[in-house]
Amino acid sequence: MINKMFEETLIILKPDCLERNLEDRCLKRLEKLGEITLISKINVSANQIMAHYEDNLKDKPENIKYRVLNYFVNKEVIVILLRGENVIANTRKLIGASDPAKSPKGTIRGDWGIDSYSIADASDRSCYNIIHASDSEVNYIREKNLDRSGLEYENMPSFRGISS
């Protein structure tokens, strides 16, 4: 008997994804990896985003923190919990490298990314890379347990017609 490993991951469709109307395309690909057990559109607060990126930002200069805040705060994102077999690794493979310029075709960032770290640095802003996904079970648990005010926990088997 084969032991399948089912797990959950947290995914965030970032502001640039929503601004470019890529959410349906991304969600169609994500649905192939498992069951969407939560989907909610929220406006991000400074506290939420700083807590989410706390480990990444703790040793960064203030201008990097400002870039992240400017990218997210008071903008809409879609938060997703996805459950499936080896879903953390499979989702990371699907989304591609953090720098869209280094993501291969066939990945979300490789197919729809229009930014790069070098362009973002030259423009003194965060890189518009469409999507976030937990990179480990430990980070999934940490991210899932952050301030979730504004999230509506419900099963939504279909993502079409997401409303504000």
| Residue 1 token pair | 């008997």
CA distances from 135 to 8, 9, 30, 88, 150 (A): 11, 8, 15, 7, 24
Identify which of 138, 145, 39, 30 has the alpha carbon closest to the alpha carbon of residue 92.
30
Closest CA to 80 of 137, 133, 5: 133
Task: Return d(Cα 75, Cα 82) in angstroms, integer.
Answer: 22
Q: Report the distance separating Cα 93 and Cα 82, nearest Å.
A: 14
Catalytic hit among 67, 78, 132, 143: 132
Residue 52 annotated to the active site: no
Catalytic center residues: 132
